[in-house]
Amino acid sequence: MATPLHLLMHATAIKKNGALAEIAAVAGLVPGVAESVMTAAVASGRVLDIEGRFMLSPAGHMIVDSEYSRYCGALRANVDFVKAYERFESVNRDLKRLVTRWQTLEIGGQMTPNDHSDDEYDDGIISELGDLHERFEPILNVLVSGDSRLKGYQEKLTAALEKAEDGDKAWVSDARIESYHTVWFELHEDLLRLLGRTRDE
């Protein structure tokens, strides 16, 4: 089982320059424990505290990367989890295409930024996002059963989708909030680290 320090450093690697509460949520640690562990991590030079936001030091990156094989061995050997991850990657490709269509429009053969003034077009994309999420839910359930900490992503994805379907378009892909695409991106990073994979750009 991973230690609180490893979980916190893993979450810090994902959040990058994140606030303590955000990092604690990804790590699955209660605030009091997260604060104590973060204080120790900063004191040891593993994590940098930059005006109340945290990122791994170069040494911290080396340490956490070296620990995955020890703490994630059982998960990497979990056939159901690995198959669910592979199915996730398939849906991920569909999501990337959907987000591209959300962010850009083809006008006169040219791709231009979507100013989101066409509600009918945007509503169609959000509807497709809902269909994609419904297809993804069984996969996500398997991932959560393998690592219960991932349930936080499940809850955030559902909340973001519901807000987008209620008419707040920012919750589709706005990077300044925990939008659907932002949370999905972090889940992807989490899975890649757990399984020792690299992102296919």
- Per-residue pLDDT tens digits for 10-35: 999 999 999 999 999 999 999 999 99
Q: What is the pTM of this model?
A: 0.94
Task: Indicate whether 83 and 179 sit together in one domain.
Answer: yes
Task: Indicate whether 59 and 88 sit together in one domain.
Answer: no
Can you give the CATH number for the domain in which 32 is found? 1.10.10.10
Q: Look-up: residue for tokens 């499940």? A: 154
Domain membership of residue 201 (yes or no) is no
Task: Indicate whether 88 and 173 sit together in one domain.
Answer: yes
Domain membership of residue 129 (yes or no) is yes
Q: Are 5 and 40 in contact (CB under 8 A)?
A: yes
Domain membership of residue 200 (yes or no) is no
Task: Indicate whether 29 and 58 sit together in one domain.
Answer: yes
Task: Indicate whether 41 and 63 sit together in one domain.
Answer: yes
Helices (runs of H) and strands (runs of E) counted in the chain: 10, 5
Task: Indicate whether 32 and 120 sit together in one domain.
Answer: no
Per residue in 128-181, pLDDT (tens digit) is: 999 999 999 999 999 999 999 999 999 999 999 999 999 999 999 999 999 999
Comparing CA positions, the residue from 149, 152, 179 lying closest to residue 164 is 179
Task: Indicate whether 40 and 110 sit together in one domain.
Answer: no
Task: Indicate whether 86 and 185 sit together in one domain.
Answer: yes
User: Which of 30, 50, 71 delimits the end of a domain?
Assistant: 71
| Residue 23 structural domain | 4-71
Domain membership of residue 54 (yes or no) is yes
pLDDT for 5 equals 97
User: How far, in Å, are 45, 104, 105, 127 from residue 108 at the CA level?
Assistant: 54, 13, 10, 25
Q: Is the pLDDT of residue 108 over 90?
A: no
Task: Indicate whether 160 and 102 sit together in one domain.
Answer: yes
Task: Indicate whether 150 and 179 sit together in one domain.
Answer: yes
User: Which of 21, 49, 71 delimits the end of a domain?
Assistant: 71
Give the number of domains in the chain.
2
Task: Indicate whether 58 and 105 sit together in one domain.
Answer: no
Please tell me the distance from the alpha carbon of residue 95 to that of residue 129, in angstroms, as a whole number. 8
pLDDT for 201 equals 55
